[in-house]
Amino acid sequence: SISSFRNLLKCRFLGCTSFGAEFRRFSLDRHKPGKFEDFYKLVVHTHHISNSDVTIGYADVHGDLLPINNDDNFCKAVSSANPLLRVFIQKREEAERGSLGAGSLCRRRRALGALRDEGPRRRAHLDIGLPRDFRPVSSIIDVDLVPETHRRVRLHRHGCEKPLGFYIRDGASVRVTPHGLEKVPGIFISRMVPGGLAESTGLLAVNDEVLEVNGIEVAGKTLDQVTDMMIANSHNLIVTVKPANQRNNVVRGGRALGSSGPPSDGTAGFVGPPAPRVLQNFHPDEAESDEDNDVVIEGTLEPRLLSSLRADPRHSLALPPGGVEEHGPAVTL
Amino acid sequence: MGKLRRRGARELGAWECLPPAALPSLQTVEHGFPNQPSALAFDPELRIMAIGTRSGAVKIYGAPGVEFTGLHRDAATVTQMHFLTGQGRLLSLLDDSSLHLWEIVHHNGCAHLEEALSFQLPSRPGFDGASAPLSLTRVTVVLLVAAGDIAALGTEGSSVFFLDVTTLTLLEGQTLAPGEVLRSVPDDYRCGKALGPVESLQGHLRDPTKILIGYSRGLLVIWNQASQCVDHIFLGNQQLESLCWGRDSSTVVSSHSDGSYAVWSVDAGSSPTLQPTVATTPYGPFPCKAINKILWRNCESGGHFIIFSGGMPRASYGDRHCVSVLRAETLVTLDFTSRIIDFFTVHSTRPEDEFDDPQALAVLLEEELVVLDLQTPGWPAVPAPYLAPLHSSAITCSAHVASVPAKLWARIVSAGEQQSPQPVSSALSWPITGGRNLAQEPSQRGLLLTGHEDGTVRFWDASGVALRPLYKLSTAGLFQTDCEHADSLAQAAEDDWPPFRKVGCFDPYSDDPRLGVQKVALCKYTAQMVVAGTAGQVLVLELSDVPVEQAVSVAIIDLLQDREGFTWKGHERLSPRTGPLPWPAGFQPRVLVQCLPPAAVTAVTLHTEWSLVAFGTSHGFGLFDYQRKSPVLARCTLHPNDSLAMEGPLSRVKSLKKSLRQSFRRIRKSRVSGKKRAANASSKLQEANAQLAEQACPHDVEMTPVQRRIEPRSADDSLSGVVRCLYFADTFLRDGAHHGPTMWAGTNSGSVFAYALEVPAAAVGGEKRPEQAVEAVLGKEVQLMHRAPVVAIAVLDGRGRPLPEPYEASRDLAQAPDMQGGHAVLIASEEQFKVFTLPKVSAKTKFKLTAHEGCRVRKVALATFASVACEDYAETCLACLTNLGDVHVFSVPGLRPQVHYSCIRKEDISGIASCVFTRHGQGFYLISPSEFERFSLSARNITEPLCSLDINWPRDATQASYRIRESPKLSQANGTPSILLAPQSLDGSPDPAHSKGPDTPEPPEAALSPMSIDSATSADTTLDTTGDVTVEDVKDFLGSSEESEKNLRNLAEDEAHACAILIK
């Protein structure tokens, strides 16, 4: 059976001064959404804006504004509607200013970031979303810097729902030194929490040896120190590990690793030259602008007498329901 | 060498010169009473006293300020110590039967204690060629034969060996075997039984050839060393405990295990004496405990003193720790609160004198030292100028006040004198007066305040090497406690016999745990202070020179502010006494504020210029105007999901604390037992049993590895609402043009609240502000994204300096802050330091300590470091103690790391929790419940003992070559240091011939004297001075017992490691 579903359309004309936005509501077939081309036409037609070039975005369950520009993400958008799908339509020029992308609904990109991306650009005919149109996910980074036997993983915590979800322990690892093989203490991943971020990325595994945390080597540090370092960096955690399973290493330089053969360097315990301490993809500024902003709420500073203390039991500043804008203009109550 | 280098490194501008590893420890001196004392010695000629401890430390004390510290390499218990009279040398016996010779040597006018030689009895049987196999097990007693160059060693196997003290070599062929003695004993006494261990060896003052030997079985022998024959024999039959020789060689006193003592007369006859002239059981007739030690001292005025320890009736008073002093008909039973270690009398020791004439009796107890004046009727106690029992009640917090104005100092001293009036009649001052203190008179007065479990605050003179008690403030009198009349009842119930007299001040029992002091703050300009306690009580006090009788006004502030859904399951608030109460001269309470719920106060701050006090608990914070006696503000900081905070006095945490304490005790025990190679089997067995009993299941421990969960803090972590710091500042909160009073509060979950205060301005010249209400308005709320607990907040002026204390600027005591330029606020969390601009709060500089180093901030303070090179130059830095026990120094406001030192062992969480920084770059932390270690980060401001001692011992050059180890202040006397464990591979062989290491020449050391700067240029910004172990402190150690077990193993491994590395 075919069930129809309602679809709330919310259209914003940011360039227009006389009216800010208009809203349309229409329904789509959830199971047969059709082609993106058709949808685009429908939208343009519904809003009587066939003459202008627009980008279409939708709000996903996390509150991120994600683009609809091909069949696949259109399909994904429709299937994620619950039950309403909020679709945002913007003029192309507006959209290019960088309002799409992860976290764009709840926080603004840095002005610098917007400028960087705004350079004149020839748009290819094929519509490929800009990097910022995608939600950053946990990934292997610095493949070209880190020895092949190591893996540098950036765990991107999206929202706060998912726990990082792993445990570390003390252990011993064997290393090749000028004096021969030597057993040295090391820190290892001991357990993964099912459903946690670390497990769901598939980039870390039990018994992986932790070598660096956000560019700082853990050699010589105690388990507690490494724990504290990881927690202190948890908003943007970059861990360099030596995977216990060396068969899935990233191959570079055309050398192929036989799926059944030993690692290319021969000895399983060999640790290559110390990894450079540069984190290519780690721009402190960027990371901090995203993650490390302390929330500042300004008070009215109008004198209030103590007599009002009873009347206003909280005597505090309530957070606005939609959350607080970070590092933007302060919210004045 | 080390000291010179340290000074160089700590010179300003030279922070980066040296790697931290090259820096010696910062510790300068220990204050307080040695933990677990085990031996006592006194040199009547030099008038110095030595105390040995169970961790192998030796501490020598003379006149106030004269102190020497040494530590045996093996952390074994010091069982006996003997001074080589007048030589500044000390022979110590450890419980592994090794002997160590210590010397006080002078380098450039300053004296130090150094270990010169050590000796271990060879354990091979028949080493001396004697036909009879001698059992050379354990040395039980040591006697330095009066000539001084020979030591007699009594052993468990009844033999007496003789030793050359200068070389610590055995004098072979002189050994007195039991068989030799038994030859002179009648057969019917011998009856095939052994003599038992040698219990006592006593030399004669006038005739150094005679040695009185007492065997455990009861046989007393006077041995003539010169003629190698037995002079006289007393056939005692009661098990012997101790012996004392009368001054004229005619009497010998022996004490016995059945609580009796006997007086024997030494007649010229050669036949054995069968019976003592007198034998009494002083506390008979019922069975009594042993008299462990007895002294017999005669007096010129006739009669004699008999002083003995123990001997109490077993059934009724067997648990008392008593020393009895008997003279003629007068008997006093001194009743102490802790175990008696040893005692001595200060008396004439010149051989030509006919009488002992004891002046004083010094009793070393487990927890304190008590000295009695024996020349004044009534035998009053003489107050000790040092060795104060800091822990007479457990220390719960501490604070340091630097540069105390002379006037306030005098008032506190006079209040203290009124508190414990000196006995005017006492002719005797402190009898231990050896040595000269070379340290300069401190240029500024430092006051250390310690808050205690029983609700007292003690004021200590921390200006110099000797920590001197000044004044004691008790807050208990303000409250009704449960057990008020218990004492008087107990007193009444006691009989007149034995004539007990309570002596000493060690009293670990608290009437009511709610009285415990949690936070203390003192304003040195107005002599006002605030004391906050465990049951949410905040007491504002003021110093008064006259006693008064007045009522204290009480206010109650509800910090929950109608927050619903929480029930307090903890203790009740204290009920204050109503009506006028008498208050002695000293700090007298003015206002009592009680927080509801009555949780322990976690932060407090005082602004005397504004008459405001702010306080915080685990539920919120409040602001109180103590001039108008009215509340200004109450704010709840609880997170709705935080249920633990409501459950009362954190029972979970408490039990953790307990289990922690146990596991640390276990670690310590195992470490000590590891050292005791020569401990006898039975004690080993006991230890093993005890350990087995303590470990629930040691095998499971091996199986599960220690794991740590990696998870960021969330907003609803428990105890997120705990207020960690409070701060007042006159700064820019509203806008950049108008500054005004502000109050800042930081919580456990990384929230900072900033309030703008409306404080009515004081009239010109007037002390007090007009009677108008103070208003507080929330100006800013900062939530640190990393949500780590905020440990300190400070506002920096336009020049980047911390704001001065209240009254400092207005009274021209400090340089006025720069109120033109932009102010900034420094917020220190457990993970990061951040400087924000004001009035718009935006991050300026930061340092992420945890992300970089993996350590967490425990204590921070802004301290002024004065340059050594340049008289006037000083800069303010942020000193920070981490959970690893390291001290880091950062520039302010740049937050650049300057230098870091390792200071406290990271396992010593109570030490880390007790750390207090002073404003001139020194600090204190507890190394045991009874001792503060002092350390110095500053090159200029160092307090350490500098003293000299006149020693009449010609040191010839050859002596130096025997010295195998220097013992400067490298170690803590509790035997915990890392440096000291460094084995000096030289002592591999117990044979003294091999222990003659090569000379270790010492480069000349500049004469150094502690200098303190007395500048009031910056605020006293000791930001946090918690003494109690908080949740955060224990958090790192919260793991189950497996973890502590693991730690224990690691420790053992670490030690092994250290040795291996160093030997290599």
- The rounded percent of chain B whose pLDDT value lies above 70 is 75
Contacts of A233 in chain B (CB under 8 A): 851
Quickly state the pLDDT bin for B933 (edges 50, 70, 90). Answer: very high
Measured between CB atoms, which of B631, B786, B834 is closest to A232?
A: B786
Task: List, in order, residues 6 or more apart from B487 with CB less than 8 Å away.
Answer: none
pLDDT digits (tens, 9 = 90+) for B113-135: 888 888 887 654 444 444 334 44
Between CA B51 and CA B342 the distance in angstroms is 10
Region of poorest pLDDT, from A81-85, B73-77, B289-293: A81-85
User: Are the C-beta atoms of residues B96 and B119 closer than 8 Å to each other?
Assistant: no
Calculate mean pLDDT across residues B542-546: 93
User: Are the C-beta atoms of residues B245 and B254 closer than 8 Å to each other?
Assistant: no
- A260-264, B558-562, B863-867, B915-919, range with greatest mean pLDDT: B915-919
What is the reported pLDDT for A284? 43
Which has more confidence, B1000 or B870?
A: B870
In terms of DSSP H, where are the helices of A155-208?
197-201
pLDDT digits (tens, 9 = 90+) for B945-970: 888 887 766 554 334 333 333 334 44
The C-alpha of A305 sits at a distance from chain B's nearest C-alpha, in angstroms, of: 6
Calculate mean pLDDT across residues B975-987: 32
Contacts of B707 in chain A (CB under 8 A): 167-169, 190-191
What is the reported pLDDT for B917? 94
Is B707 part of a structural domain of the chain?
no
Flag if A304 and B842 touch (Cβ within 8 Å).
no
Quickly state the pLDDT bin for B482 (edges 50, 70, 90). Answer: low
Is B855 part of a structural domain of the chain?
no
CATH 2.40.50.140 fits A2-95, yes or no: no
Quickly state the pLDDT bin for B112 (edges 50, 70, 90). Answer: confident
State whether residue B327 is helix, strand or coil.
Answer: strand
Residue B36, phi-psi category: left (phi > 0), alpha (psi -120 to 50), beta (remainder)? left
The C-alpha of B317 sits at a distance from chain A's nearest C-alpha, in angstroms, of: 50
Dihedral sign of CA atoms B27, B30, B35, B41 in order? positive
Residue B86, phi-psi category: left (phi > 0), alpha (psi -120 to 50), beta (remainder)? left
The yes-or-no verdict on residue B326 having pLDDT over 80 is yes
Region of poorest pLDDT, from B683-697, B734-748, B1029-1043: B1029-1043
Contacts of B776 in chain A (CB under 8 A): 306
Contacts of A229 in chain B (CB under 8 A): 850-854
Quickly state the pLDDT bin for A276 (edges 50, 70, 90). Answer: very low
**Domain map (residue ranges) of chain A:** 2-95, 138-248
Contacts of A237 in chain B (CB under 8 A): 710
Same-domain status, B633 and B755: no
**How many structural domains is chain B composed of?**
3
Q: Which of residues 199-218 of A touch B (CB under 8 A)?
A: 214, 216, 218
Quickly state the pLDDT bin for B634 (edges 50, 70, 90). Answer: very high
Between CA B303 and CA B356 the distance in angstroms is 11
Same-domain status, B728 and B634: no
The yes-or-no verdict on residue B409 having pLDDT over 90 is yes
pLDDT digits (tens, 9 = 90+) for B594-604: 998 899 999 99
Calculate mean pLDDT across residues A274-293: 45
Q: Which of residues 118-177 of A touch B (CB under 8 A)?
A: 157, 160, 163-171
Is B880 part of a structural domain of the chain?
no
Best B556, B637, B641, B710 member to test A by mutation, with max A CBs in 10 Å, is B710
Domain holding B725, by residue range, is: 718-764+772-847
Contacts of B777 in chain A (CB under 8 A): 299-304
Residue with tokens 């502030």: B557
Calculate mean pLDDT across residues B514-524: 94
Nearest CA in chain A to B704: A169
Contacts of A299 in chain B (CB under 8 A): 756, 777-781
Is B790 part of a structural domain of the chain?
yes
CATH superfamily for domain A138-248: PDZ domain (2.30.42.10)
Quickly state the pLDDT bin for A71 (edges 50, 70, 90). Answer: confident
Which has more confidence, B202 or B663?
A: B202
How many beta-carbon pairs under 8 angstroms link A with B?
149
Beta bridge partners of A140: A153
Region of poorest pLDDT, from A65-79, B653-667, B876-890: B653-667
Dihedral sign of CA atoms B79, B84, B86, B88 in order? negative
Contacts of A234 in chain B (CB under 8 A): 710-712
CA atoms within 13 A on the CB side of B24: 17
Nearest CA in chain B to A295: B783
Between CA B783 and CA A323 the distance in angstroms is 13
- B554 burial level (CB within 10 Å; 0-12, 13-18, 19+): middle
A285 touches chain B (CB under 8 A): no
pLDDT digits (tens, 9 = 90+) for B725-770: 999 999 999 888 888 999 999 999 899 999 999 998 766 555 667 7
Contacts of A167 in chain B (CB under 8 A): 707-710
What is the reported pLDDT for B65? 85
Contacts of B855 in chain A (CB under 8 A): 225, 228
The C-alpha of B637 sits at a distance from chain A's nearest C-alpha, in angstroms, of: 9
Calculate mean pLDDT across residues B165-177: 84
What is the reported pLDDT for A331? 29
The yes-or-no verdict on residue A321 having pLDDT over 80 is no
Flag if B705 and A229 touch (Cβ within 8 Å).
no
Between CA B782 and CA B745 the distance in angstroms is 10
Contacts of B784 in chain A (CB under 8 A): 294
Flag if A296 and B780 touch (Cβ within 8 Å).
yes
**What percentage of chain A's residues is helix, strand, coil (to nearest 5)?**
20, 25, 55
Quickly state the pLDDT bin for A159 (edges 50, 70, 90). Answer: low
User: Are the C-beta atoms of residues A164 and A197 closer than 8 Å to each other?
Assistant: yes
Between CA A295 and CA B967 the distance in angstroms is 54
Give the dihedral of Cα atoms B158, B159, B165, B168; nearest 10 deg. -110
Measured between CB atoms, which of B734, B785, B854 is closest to A228?
A: B854
Instruction: Look up residue B960 and give its two tokens.
Output: 């130096």
A84 touches chain B (CB under 8 A): no
Instruction: Look up residue B157 and give its two tokens.
Output: 């196997």
Average pLDDT, chain B: 78
End-to-end C-alpha distance for chain B, whole angstroms: 23
Element (DSSP H or E) covering residue A307: helix A307-311
Flag if A165 and B705 touch (Cβ within 8 Å).
no
Flag if B851 and A233 touch (Cβ within 8 Å).
yes
- B153 burial level (CB within 10 Å; 0-12, 13-18, 19+): buried
What is the reported pLDDT for A318? 39
Flag if A304 and B633 touch (Cβ within 8 Å).
no
Flag if B785 and A169 touch (Cβ within 8 Å).
no
Flag if A190 and B563 touch (Cβ within 8 Å).
no
Residue type, A131: P
pLDDT digits (tens, 9 = 90+) for B339-350: 999 999 998 888
What is the reported pLDDT for B745? 96
The yes-or-no verdict on residue B404 having pLDDT over 60 is yes
Flag if B712 and A296 touch (Cβ within 8 Å).
no
Is B971 part of a structural domain of the chain?
no
The yes-or-no verdict on residue B921 having pLDDT over 70 is yes
Average pLDDT, chain A: 67
Flag if A315 and B634 touch (Cβ within 8 Å).
yes
Same-domain status, B605 and B748: no
What is the reported pLDDT for B1009? 32
Best A183, A224, A291, A300 member to test B by mutation, with max B CBs in 10 Å, is A224
Which has more confidence, B697 or B195?
A: B195
Contacts of B841 in chain A (CB under 8 A): 296
- Give ipTM to 2 decimals: 0.71
Between CA A265 and CA A280 the distance in angstroms is 24
The C-alpha of A228 sits at a distance from chain B's nearest C-alpha, in angstroms, of: 5
Best A288, A296, A307, A317 member to test B by mutation, with max B CBs in 10 Å, is A296
Instruction: Look up residue B698 and give its two tokens.
Output: 């040691």
What is the reported pLDDT for B666? 56
The C-alpha of B926 sits at a distance from chain A's nearest C-alpha, in angstroms, of: 24
What is the reported pLDDT for B669? 47
The yes-or-no verdict on residue B355 having pLDDT over 90 is no
The yes-or-no verdict on residue B429 having pLDDT over 90 is no
What is the reported pLDDT for B662? 58
Please work out, in degrees rounded to the nearest 5, the angle formed at the alpha carbon of residue B995 by the alpha carbons of B993 and B996.
Answer: 80
The yes-or-no verdict on residue B430 having pLDDT over 70 is yes
Between CA A201 and CA B361 the distance in angstroms is 76
What is the reported pLDDT for B281? 92
The C-alpha of A166 sits at a distance from chain B's nearest C-alpha, in angstroms, of: 6
Quickly state the pLDDT bin for A138 (edges 50, 70, 90). Answer: confident
pLDDT digits (tens, 9 = 90+) for B62-76: 988 888 999 998 888
Flag if B1036 and A224 touch (Cβ within 8 Å).
yes
The yes-or-no verdict on residue B108 having pLDDT over 70 is yes
Quickly state the pLDDT bin for A300 (edges 50, 70, 90). Answer: low
A183 touches chain B (CB under 8 A): no
Same-domain status, B632 and B736: no
The yes-or-no verdict on residue A111 having pLDDT over 70 is no
What is the reported pLDDT for A8? 41
Element (DSSP H or E) covering residue B2: helix B2-9
Quickly state the pLDDT bin for B1024 (edges 50, 70, 90). Answer: very low
Q: How many CB atoms lie within 10 A of CB A98?
A: 21
Bridging pattern class, strands B528-533 and B537-544: antiparallel
Same-domain status, B737 and B631: no
The yes-or-no verdict on residue B489 having pLDDT over 60 is no
Q: What is the CATH number of the domain that holds B552?
A: 2.40.128.630
Element (DSSP H or E) covering residue B902: strand B897-902
The yes-or-no verdict on residue B872 having pLDDT over 80 is no
Calculate mean pLDDT across residues B234-256: 89
Between CA B895 and CA B843 the distance in angstroms is 12
Nearest CA in chain A to B632: A306
Between CA B941 and CA B463 the distance in angstroms is 11
Q: Where does a domain end: B120, B137, B158? A: B120
A301 touches chain B (CB under 8 A): yes
Best A184, A192, A217, A225 member to test B by mutation, with max B CBs in 10 Å, is A225
Instruction: Look up residue B902 and give its two tokens.
Output: 């390792």
The C-alpha of B971 sits at a distance from chain A's nearest C-alpha, in angstroms, of: 24
Measured between CB atoms, which of A221, A234, A317 is closest to B778?
A: A317
What is the reported pLDDT for B743? 96
Between CA B973 and CA A240 the distance in angstroms is 43
- pTM of the shown model: 0.75
